[in-house]
């Protein structure tokens, strides 16, 4: 049996007929850019997330960039973010002229450490960017409390956490704004690039809405009295139509992901030389959507080879480095927990198109490896 880490073709083949119909229908209408399919998708997302405003944009990285611009982040400002994160958020911070300040992870959930946030605050700090890595929300109560005490803004990179919740509230809806990515491998993925910014603030919404389309208003013209520097960051109609359709069964997708995560948890939890994320059945205040199943073991490299030799694909997230390791980009910091984490962390295959026999096969191999059948 083969279990690829990610089977790209299956994303289309799972519902080939429906997808082709949607694509053809959208194109036959001559609806390519900013037509009803985009506003329909925004409306669905608004309801799903229980948030006031949604702006669909070209991708998740530029969603962050527009959010930062709308919040007035600029040259000389500092924004604190976790090193255990994709570089995208740091890049967007850099591109508005501000400085990304990577900090340590918490040992409990491997997400941004609230103590580390407080320790990194300087007179130039304007915001905190929690990243809800792997589909688990950060400690938002504490983060919002810090933000209030120091008068900072909170920007949620929720690219991996569409549908995740903390204390009943959706990822992305707790801070000043949040962003999503619908890159194909994300839990809600399209067939290209797509993203969204979500906010409860009318002001942020109006700014980002104008900015995504060159500063144009709802009549799609740029008003003479404009004071907004826009850009092109539009989501195209075909992707929006596909995403609207995928929203209809997204709850089931999440349920399937949680089932697989629980199977991995029940298998690995029997062994002592692993560190696991909280199980779906033990989420406390959180509702996790498991964009990834990331866990740690000092035997990581041997395990990875064993699984690979037996047809199971795995990945080390972001090539095995946190953003503070990108020294040439000036992001260097002393973060021993994050360093240790990346020496031991591994992602197992996890997506809603995996079959039960595939999941069982991965679990069998994990049992073999950790029970010492193959590892002396």
Ligand X SMILES: *Cc1c(COP(=O)(O)O)cnc(C)c1O
Footprint on this chain of ligand X (rule: CB under 6 A): 59-61, 85-86, 88-89, 131, 157, 159-160, 181, 183, 193, 195
Nearer residue to ligand X within complex by CB, 199 or 292: 292
Question: How far apart are CB 292 and ligand X at their closest, in Å?
Answer: 9
- What is the nearest approach in angstroms of ligand X to the Cβ of residue 182? 7
- CB of residue 172 vs ligand X: minimum separation in angstroms? 12
By C-beta, is 42 or 157 nearer to ligand X?
Answer: 157
In the complex, least distance from residue 194 CB atom to ligand X, rounded to whole angstroms: 7
Q: Which is nearer to ligand X, 132 or 359 (CB)?
A: 132
* Between 236 and 303, CB nearer to ligand X: 236
Which is nearer to ligand X, 94 or 183 (by Cβ)?
183
CB of 59 to ligand X, least distance (A): 4
Least gap, CB of 218 to ligand X (angstroms)? 25
Q: Toward ligand X, which CB reaches closer, 89 or 164? A: 89
Q: Which is nearer to ligand X, 85 or 113 (CB)?
A: 85
HEC profile of the chain: CCECCCCHHHHHHCCHHHHHHHHHHHHHCCCCECCHHHHHHHHHHHHHHCCCEEEEECCHHHHHHHHHHHCCCCCCCEEEEECCCCCHHHHHHHHCCCEEEEECECCCCCCECHHHHHHHCCCCEEEECCECHHHCCCCHHHHHHHHHHHCCEEEEECCCCCCCEECCEECCCCCCEEEEECCCCCCCCCCCCCEEEEECCHHHHHHHHHHCECCCCCCCCCCCCCCCCCCECECEHHHHHHHHHHHCCHHHHHHHHHHHHHHHHHHHCCCCCCECCCCHHHCCCEECCCCCEEEECCCHHHHHHHHHHCCECCECHHHHCCHHHCHHHCCCCCCHHHHHHHHHEEEECCCCCCCHHHHHHHHHHHHHHHCCCCCC
Which residue has the CB atom at the shortest distance from ligand X?
60
**Closest distance between ligand X and the C-beta of residue 56, in Å?**
12
């Amino acid at each position: 049996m083969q279990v690829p880490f990610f089977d790209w073709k299956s994303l289309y083949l799972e519902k080939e007929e429906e997808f082709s119909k949607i694509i053809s229908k959208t194109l036959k209408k001559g609806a390519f850019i900013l037509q009803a399919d985009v506003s329909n998708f925004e409306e669905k997302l608004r309801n799903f997330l229980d948030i006031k405003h949604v702006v669909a944009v070209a991708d998740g990285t530029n969603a962050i960039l527009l959010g930062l611009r709308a919040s007035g982040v600029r040259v000389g400002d500092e924004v604190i973010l976790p090193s255990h994160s994709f570089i995208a958020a740091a890049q967007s911070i850099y591109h508005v002229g501000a400085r990304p300040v990577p900090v340590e992870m918490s040992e409990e959930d491997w997400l941004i450490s609230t103590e580390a946030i407080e320790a990194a605050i300087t007179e130039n700090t304007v915001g905190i960017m929690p990243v809800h890595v792997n589909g688990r929300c950060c400690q938002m109560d504490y983060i919002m409390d810090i933000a209030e005490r120091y008068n900072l803004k909170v920007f949620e990179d929720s690219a991996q956490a569409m549908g995740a919740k903390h204390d009943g509230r959706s990822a992305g809806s707790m801070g000043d704004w949040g962003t999503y990515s619908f890159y194909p491998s994300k839990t809600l993925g399209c067939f290209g690039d797509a993203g969204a910014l979500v906010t409860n603030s009318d002001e942020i919404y109006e700014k980002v809405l104008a900015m995504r389309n060159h500063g144009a208003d709802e009549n799609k013209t740029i008003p003479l009295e404009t004071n907004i520097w826009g850009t092109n960051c539009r989501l195209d109609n075909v992707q929006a139509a596909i995403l609207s359709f995928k929203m209809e069964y997204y709850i089931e997708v999440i349920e399937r992901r949680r089932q697989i995560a629980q199977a991995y948890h029940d298998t690995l939890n029997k062994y002592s030389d692993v560190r696991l994320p909280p199980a779906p059945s033990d989420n406390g205040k959180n509702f996790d959507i498991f964009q990834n199943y990331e866990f740690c073991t000092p035997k990581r490299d041997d395990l990875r080879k064993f699984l690979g030799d037996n047809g199971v694909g795995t990945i080390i997230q972001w090539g095995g480095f946190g953003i503070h390791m990108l020294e040439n980009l000036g992001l260097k910091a002393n973060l021993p927990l994050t360093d240790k984490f990346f020496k031991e962390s591994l992602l197992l295959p996890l997506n809603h198109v995996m079959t039960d026999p595939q999941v069982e096969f991965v679990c069998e191999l994990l049992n073999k490896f950790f029970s010492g059948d193959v590892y002396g």
